Amino acid sequence: MNKKLICLLIILLLISCKKEESILIKQISTNEMATINLDYQYAETKDSICLTIPIEFEVIQKKSDLKSIHLYYIKINNRRLLDDISDYQVYDEQNKTTPIYFSLNKNQLSSQQIFKIIVKIRTQMISKKDAQEILKKYSINQSIETLKLNDIIKLKSVSEFKKRNKNIIDSFRKINDSIVFVYSNGEENKSIKKKINW
């Protein structure tokens, strides 16, 4: 009995000593629209087209000694996306028109505790046949074949799109996609990884 009690006390002590992360990353629901677009880097792909399902995150600063927070990389389909222009784009939730490089310095961190960002992955592809079926489903009278470079077709809000297109969303969920942030207190850098919930 005493051995069990000692083991329990040791486990509780280890749990209480576990160091808390300095930041918290939460994926939150978004009001953004799912879109179909003909992206320049995939224009040569004849049988598929880009489907963009925006994802939104809250980056919460939990400790006041932080000097910086950066979005380090995003991993989609086991491929690390590094190019924040062609592979993905990040937007401040307060300014959804201009892409940003998400990087916070000491001054920004001292004036604000919670930051919201929207991420638009530009590498998720679906067949043109599936894309045409989606347009038909939403009564959008346009042919995928007539799309020009950088044309964007707005579909529905992300939440509504997910409900009506579970097979596509399930195909995105087959591989654990993730987003990684790096933060520093000036003495050491640490990373935190968050699974993307499609």
**How does pLDDT run across 78-104, given as a tens digit for each residue?**
889 876 677 899 999 888 888 988 999
Residue 1 falls within a domain, yes or no? Answer: no
Residue range 128-145: mean pLDDT, rounded = 92
- 160 lies in which domain range? 21-195
pLDDT at 16: 52
Cα separation, 87 vs 80, whole angstroms? 10
Residue range 133-145: mean pLDDT, rounded = 92
Residue range 114-134: mean pLDDT, rounded = 92
pLDDT at 166: 93
In which residue are the tokens 């927070």 written?
69
Q: Alpha carbon of 59 to those of 37, 90, 135, 187: distances in Å?
A: 28, 13, 34, 21
Residue 7 falls within a domain, yes or no? Answer: no
Residue 164: pLDDT band with limits 50, 70, 90 = very high
Residue 6 falls within a domain, yes or no? Answer: no
Report the chain's mean pLDDT, rounded to a whole number.
87
Residue 9 falls within a domain, yes or no? Answer: no
Residue 30 falls within a domain, yes or no? Answer: yes
pLDDT top residue among 15 and 178: 178
Residue 111: pLDDT band with limits 50, 70, 90 = confident
Residue 153: pLDDT band with limits 50, 70, 90 = very high
Q: Taking a C-beta distance cutoff of 8 angstroms, is the pair 114, 60 a contact?
A: yes
pLDDT top residue among 82 and 73: 73
Residue 8 falls within a domain, yes or no? Answer: no
Is the sign of the CA dihedral 163, 168, 170, 172 positive or negative? Answer: negative
Residue 132 falls within a domain, yes or no? Answer: yes
Q: Taking a C-beta distance cutoff of 8 angstroms, is the pair 66, 178 a contact?
A: no
pLDDT at position 10 over 80: no
pLDDT at 97: 86
pLDDT at position 7 over 80: no
As a whole-number percent, the residues of the chain with pLDDT over 70 amount to 85
Residue 35 falls within a domain, yes or no? Answer: yes
pLDDT top residue among 8 and 58: 58
Burial class (CB in 10 A: 0-12, 13-18, 19+), 157: middle
Cα separation, 128 vs 134, whole angstroms? 10
Phi, psi values for residue 196, rounded to 5°: -85, 125
Cα separation, 169 vs 156, whole angstroms? 14
pLDDT in tens, 12-61: 555 555 567 789 999 999 999 999 988 756 555 678 899 999 999 999 99
Coil, strand or helix at 136: helix
Q: Could you give the number of structural domains in the chain?
A: 1
